[in-house]
Amino acid sequence: MNIGQAATASGVSAKMIRHYESIGLLEAPLRGDNGYRVYSPDDLKRLVFIRHARDVGFALAQIKSLLELWRDRGRASADVKRIAVDQIAALKTRKREIETMIAGLEELTFACHGDAQAACPILDGLAGQAKAD
């Protein structure tokens, strides 16, 4: 299949497929007589794996490790689980950080009257100034 077909079938954009090739997550595919990339069913499986790993927030370096483990049929599942457990912890940390950001922005937004006045507690808060009452 060509890159457009591979993109449609995998849910990964053609631009990202080329990027994954450039950083080594996906081996450079064979080229047809016309010079176009030709993707195999194994390439498609790898792209789907990468997309699913990205969907749950794994970084590209983690995906590279997971791909290596996926190919290694002699691997210990404990190695895979360790990466997944670390990712869960990182996501929970990120969730707490986002919740803190939301709470801070909600506080600033609540303090803003949202009317025709020039005074804006949101801008004051972002500038590090005490909020106006």
**In a domain? residue 88:** no
**In a domain? residue 96:** no
Q: How confident is the model at residue 132 (pLDDT cuts 50, 70, 90)?
A: very low
Q: What is the CATH number of the domain that holds 46?
A: 1.10.1660.10
Residues ≥6 apart with Cβ < 8 Å to 107: 125
Is residue 60 over pLDDT 90? yes
**In a domain? residue 28:** yes
29 contacts 37 by C-beta, under 8 angstroms: yes
**In a domain? residue 26:** yes
**In a domain? residue 130:** no
Which of 9, 73, 21, 69 lies closest to 45, judged by CA? 9
Looking at the structure of the chain, the number of domains it has is 1
Q: What is the pLDDT of residue 131?
A: 52
**In a domain? residue 62:** no
**In a domain? residue 117:** no
What is the pTM for the complete model shown?
0.80
In terms of Cβ atoms closer than 10 Å to its own Cβ (0-12, 13-18, 19+), residue 122 is middle
**In a domain? residue 74:** no
Q: 14 lies in which domain range? A: 1-55
